[in-house]
Amino acid sequence: MATYKLNINKKMYEVEAEPDTPLLWVIRDKVGLKGTKFGCGAAHCGVCTILFNGFPIKSCTLAVAAVTPEIEITTIESTDFKNLKVVQDAWTKVQAPQCGYCQSGQILTAVSLLNQNPTPSDADINTAMTAVLCRCGTYPRIKKAIKTASQELNA
Amino acid sequence: MKRRDFLQIAGVSGLGLMLGCTSSGNKVQSANAEDVELSHFVFIDTNGVVTILNHKPELGQGVYQAIPMIIAEELEVDIHKINIIQSLADKEKYGNQGIGGSTSVRRGYTELRKIGATGRILLIQAAANQWQCSVSECSASNGSVSRNGSKVKLSYGELVIAASQLEVPKEVELKKSADFKILGKPTLRQDIPMKVKGEAVFGLDVELDNMLYASVERTPYMFGAVDSYNKEAIEALPGIVSTSILKTDLFGKPRQGVAILSEDYFTAYKARKQLKIEWTAIPEVYDDAKIFGAFHKEKSKKPTAQRNKNKDKTTLSNQVDTISAEYECPYEAHSPMEPMNATVWVKKDSTVEAWLPTQNGQSARGSIAEITGIQKENITINVTFLGGGFGRRSLQDFAIEAAHLSNETKRPVKVVWSREDDTNAGPFRPATLNVFKAGFDSQKNLTSFSNHIIAQIIGHQWPGADLTKIGGGTYEGAYWGYNFANYTQAGTTVQLPVPIWYWRSVYSSTNCFVNESFVDEVANHMGMDSIDFRLKHMKDERATTLINTIRKQSNWDNPAPREFKGVAFAHVFGSYSAQVVTVEKSGAGVRIKKVDAVIDCGQTINPDTIEAQIEGSIIMGLTAAYKGGISIQGGKVANSNFDKYELLRINETPEIEVQIMKNDHAPGGIGEPGFPPTPPALGNAIFKATGLRIRKLPMTEVSIT
Ligand code: FES
Ligand code: FES
């Protein structure tokens, strides 16, 4: 066991963990933030996506030992990350989730996309969002929600 | 009743508070108000705040909103102002709470309305008593009762204590559908704000003090028992609390594993790599070729059962020409995004509390009672949100594992399956072989149509099952309403050591593909338009209206240049469903441009949810059509994670347009009817575009983008 300092949603956490523990399980079970989900454990599905300095990363295959306290980690529980609320509201407006399980990963990936490109084309949306699977098939509404959020941001 | 007691009854105390009632989900809390129970489903506090319980598991299909909508309609309350919470699994109070077969709304509709109406009538009676007038002089709306022709009004909060003491009426009058204010209108779902903030509690998110995590190395084959394993070596690893053999069965056959328990999931999971297990009772080893070989052996034999209609010897005697075809469909995994998991706590005081992402909490309650010897009354089942299910979570194996392990340790145990665990274990959507034959007279009129399905039968897996009978569900999705002359459906049951289970739309998921494809082959052989052929052979007006509607919506008769369209139809789970897939040629293959869908599910509850279910079903249908297929090699699943068992991604999703028919027929199902027409409509479009008839899923013979 070693001690790690993690900067999650602008708060410092100190956790004890084996160095090879994936960040996903540290965030979920040691820090106790359950909004980040487990889907495949092998970087195939993207439901475990969180943001590293604003960019999406799959937390299930990233060992906690590779994370430094300088990295700003954002999870779905953040209350003030840039444009997260706008995107969440757009998601609610178009009623995007079905079971909802993949949606933390979807939303954070979309927030990162919109922060880099506030007016994404269909192709831009496809490229960014292809990383996250949804077995319920909410993709048409995810597209709609991203466009709704984009309009909101550019209003 | 005080709010605290009420919350406990409703299973939302402590940890459970998060289940349906987070800070954002629970919009209204009135201070100093007393909650009064009007029925097991309806509580109104003395300030007039209404709480309605949803008693069915929510896995994305929208019952969390739809069930309270039905009750609220008759109760005459504002749907946007009520609290919704999830009930416990308790048969005595809520009746059957299992979900499957798209039945929650269609089977519960009238009963749920009566529950709301009973509340309304009691509240009106309480007002009439207070005003000393007759009930016919009073009417209820928007959470209060008014005296007709006057401004006098009493809120439900003011009436509820008196109402709760009145005798419950035996007969209640239900509203006319023309007077509906809630049903049939798109309504925002209360579970969605929780789901976009990561606050909704799924099974995997349950956290209890002193909880152990379990990761289980199950038989890598379809069945099998543990003979021995290196227990001491594993238990010596750092962080391992204990290990044990899980002596579990499935369909009367051992399907065991070694469970490793730790204070955290990853430690338990990682230790599995060091396990050395001797397996025994491994069934005969099958792979894809041997499985389909077993099906093909049955082709020439007498089927287990068959049914016939429109027998007509004269027509048959004119038969001069036949066509035949064979279709194969693979096993599929449910693969909900949330892998199987369960948390069970067998407490030292001989009570049990469980937190389950289950489609059938009552069945889990029964199994836990058997395992622990504890009476059902002392077993509390909290139903969490489910991260998808598609039928998988109606089997309770995950809950049974957690119950065994908590019973042994007397600590709360959360069993977590990895994605590979989830895919490898199945049970799978049945693989099938269908053999078709159609006959024609010299004028190319259809003289006979026969379909023979050869597959494993879900109900035949239990020991002692009657193998001579095949239920009508085996043919579901192969439209029996076609008035073909000499129409036969036959079925042959095959016994294989591969476990199978209900999967979204069950046998319809393959039957509709094979039948609607062969129907197209017949139409093509006769030189008829696919839609004209179907219309000519159906009588049911709802079916023909639906087909005419999709014809128009999809621009069937005027395709754009280079566009090709395929159609398919299903009448399943109480609803009518038709789709047209439009493709264009792209290199040697096709590109899917659009999927048009029309659904007639009778009276609608929340049309926005219906649209979402159809969209999702189409996407799952495209996945099954050209990406899916569980492959079995050497008795084991060969594609157990999403790199090899691929799901459709957003960039592969075509434009989808859904139209919902408006009528007031009884409500039909919506979770499943959107699936069956998608694969055949795609196959039929591909045939038109390329001339290639695809008779095997997944469609790998042609490139599809
Ligand atoms: S759980 Fe991390 S990509 Fe699937
Ligand atoms: S909403 Fe269920 S997996 Fe995406």
- pLDDT digit string, tens, across residues A10-61: 999 999 999 999 999 999 999 999 999 999 999 999 999 999 999 999 999 9
Domain that holds residue A56: 2-74
Please tell me the distance from the alpha carbon of residue B574 to that of residue B671, in angstroms, as a whole number: 11
Q: Which residue has the tokens 């509201």?
A: A89
CATH of the domain at A116: 1.10.150.120
The reply to whether A110 and A132 lie within a common domain is yes
Q: What is the pLDDT of residue B205?
A: 97
The response to whether residue A46 sits with its C-beta less than 6 Å from ligand 1 reads: yes
- Phi-psi domain of B95 (left: phi exceeds 0; alpha: psi -120 through 50; beta: other): left
The reply to whether A12 and A60 lie within a common domain is yes
- Angle of helix B678-690 relative to helix B607-626, nearest 10 degrees, comes to 50
Mean pLDDT within B307-311? 97
Query: In the predicted model, is pLDDT for residue B376 greater than 50?
Result: yes
User: Which-ligand-closest: CA of A43?
Assistant: 1
Please tell me the distance from the alpha carbon of residue B20 to that of residue B384, in angstroms, as a whole number: 8
| A44, A95, A143 member nearest B192 (Cβ) | A95
Q: What is the pLDDT of residue B104?
A: 80
Mutate to test the pocket of ligand 2, among A102, A129, A139, A141 (most ligand atoms within 8 A of CB): A102
Query: In the predicted model, is pLDDT for residue B37 greater than 90?
Result: no
- The last residue of one of the domains, among A23, A52, A74, is A74
Q: What is the pLDDT of residue B350?
A: 96
Judged by a CB distance cut-off of 8 A, whether residue B462 touches chain A is no
The reply to whether A68 and A108 lie within a common domain is no
Q: What is the pLDDT of residue B38?
A: 87
Q: Determine the atom of ligand 2 nearest the C-alpha atom of B337.
A: 3
Q: What is the pLDDT of residue B30?
A: 54
Q: Quick one: closest CA in B to A18, which residue?
A: B267
Does B646 or B12 have the greater pLDDT score?
B646
Q: What is the pLDDT of residue A131?
A: 97
Query: Hey, of A84, A95, A106, A146, which one would you mutate to test binding to chain B, going by the most B CBs within 10 A of its CB?
Result: A95
Q: Does A58 fall in a domain? A: yes
Mean pLDDT within B333-354? 98
Query: In the predicted model, is pLDDT for residue B461 greater than 60?
Result: yes
Read off the pLDDT band of B32 (50, 70, 90). Answer: low
Backbone angles phi and psi of B529, in degrees to 5: -65, 140
From B615's Cα to the closest Cα of chain A, the distance in A is 7
- Asked if the Cβ–Cβ distance from A44 to B202 is below 8 Å, we say no
From A44's Cα to the closest Cα of chain B, the distance in A is 6
Query: In the predicted model, is pLDDT for residue B77 greater than 90?
Result: yes
From A31's Cα to the closest Cα of chain B, the distance in A is 12
**Domains in chain B, please, with CATH?**
6-196 (3.30.365.10), 203-282+340-416 (3.30.365.10), 299-332+428-690 (3.30.365.10)
Residue in A63, A88, A92, A93 with CA at minimum distance from that of residue A77: A88
CATH of the domain at A34: 3.10.20.30
Q: What is the pTM of this model?
A: 0.95
Report chain B's terminal Cα–Cα distance, integer Å. 59
Residue in B281, B250, B257, B210 with CA at minimum distance from that of residue B417: B257
Return the amino acid letter for B71.
I
Q: What is the pLDDT of residue B352?
A: 97
Chain A residues closer than 8 Å to B608 by CB = 95
Count of A-B CB contacts under 8 Å = 174
Q: Does A79 fall in a domain? A: no
Chain-centroid distance of CA A90 in Å reads 16
Please tell me the distance from the alpha carbon of residue B294 to that of residue B494, in angstroms, as a whole number: 8
Please tell me the distance from the alpha carbon of residue A143 to that of residue B352, in angstroms, as a whole number: 44
- pLDDT digit string, tens, across residues B608-643: 999 999 999 999 999 999 999 999 999 999 999 999
Bridge partners of B169? none
The reply to whether A6 and A69 lie within a common domain is yes
Q: What is the pLDDT of residue B89?
A: 84
Q: Quick one: closest CA in A to B422, which residue?
A: A40
- pLDDT digit string, tens, across residues B468-494: 999 889 999 999 999 999 999 999 999
Mean pLDDT within A93-107? 98
Query: In the predicted model, is pLDDT for residue B156 greater than 60?
Result: yes
The reply to whether A26 and A45 lie within a common domain is yes
Q: What is the pLDDT of residue B27?
A: 41
Please tell me the distance from the alpha carbon of residue B295 to that of residue B297, in angstroms, as a whole number: 5
Backbone angles phi and psi of A31, in degrees to 5: -80, -30
The reply to whether A97 and A136 lie within a common domain is yes
| Dihedral (Cα; B301, B302, B304, B305), 10-degree rounding | 140
For ligand 2, which residues put their CB under 6 angstroms from it? A 97-103, 134-136, 138; B 60, 337, 388
Report chain A's terminal Cα–Cα distance, integer Å. 50
Q: What is the pLDDT of residue B9?
A: 43
The reply to whether A7 and A59 lie within a common domain is yes
The response to whether residue A131 sits with its C-beta less than 6 Å from ligand 1 reads: no
Please tell me the distance from the alpha carbon of residue A2 to that of residue A4, in angstroms, as a whole number: 7
Ranges of beta strands (E only) in B534-620 are 563-572, 575-586, 589-600
The reply to whether A42 and A70 lie within a common domain is yes
**Domain count within chain A:** 2
- pLDDT digit string, tens, across residues B494-511: 999 999 999 999 999 999
- The last residue of one of the domains, among A31, A50, A74, is A74
Query: In the predicted model, is pLDDT for residue A7 greater than 90?
Result: yes
Please tell me the distance from the alpha carbon of residue B117 to that of residue B42, in angstroms, as a whole number: 11
Residue in B33, B24, B80 with CA at minimum distance from that of residue B52: B80
- pLDDT digit string, tens, across residues B573-615: 999 999 999 999 999 899 999 999 999 999 999 999 999 999 9
Q: Does A10 fall in a domain? A: yes
Q: Does A70 fall in a domain? A: yes
The reply to whether A70 and A88 lie within a common domain is no
Percentage of chain A with pLDDT > 90? 99
Q: What is the pLDDT of residue B31?
A: 57
Q: What is the pLDDT of residue B19?
A: 31
- The last residue of one of the domains, among A12, A46, A74, is A74
Read off the pLDDT band of B107 (50, 70, 90). Answer: confident
Query: In the predicted model, is pLDDT for residue B72 greater than 90?
Result: yes
Percentage of chain B with pLDDT > 90? 90
The reply to whether A38 and A90 lie within a common domain is no
- Angle of helix B104-131 relative to helix B63-75, nearest 10 degrees, comes to 30
Query: In the predicted model, is pLDDT for residue B235 greater than 60?
Result: yes
Query: In the predicted model, is pLDDT for residue B29 greater than 60?
Result: no
The reply to whether A99 and A69 lie within a common domain is no
Q: Does A92 fall in a domain? A: yes
Return the amino acid letter for B277.
I
A 10 A CB-CB count for A131 gives 18
ipTM > 0.90, yes or no: yes
- pLDDT digit string, tens, across residues B311-342: 999 999 999 999 999 999 999 999 999 999 99
DSSP letters for B486-523:
TEEEEEEE---SS-B---TTTTHHHHHHHHHHHHHHHH
Q: Does A112 fall in a domain? A: yes
From B190's Cα to the closest Cα of chain A, the distance in A is 10
Q: What is the pLDDT of residue B15?
A: 29
Q: Output the CA A49–ligand 1 centroid distance in Å.
A: 7
Judged by a CB distance cut-off of 8 A, whether residue A130 touches chain B is yes
The reply to whether A66 and A110 lie within a common domain is no
- pLDDT digit string, tens, across residues B217-233: 999 999 999 999 999 99
Read off the pLDDT band of A154 (50, 70, 90). Answer: very high
Mutate to test the pocket of ligand 2, among A109, A132, A135 (most ligand atoms within 8 A of CB): A135
Residues 179-218 of B with CB under 8 A from A: 188-189, 191-202, 204-205, 207, 213
Read off the pLDDT band of B96 (50, 70, 90). Answer: confident
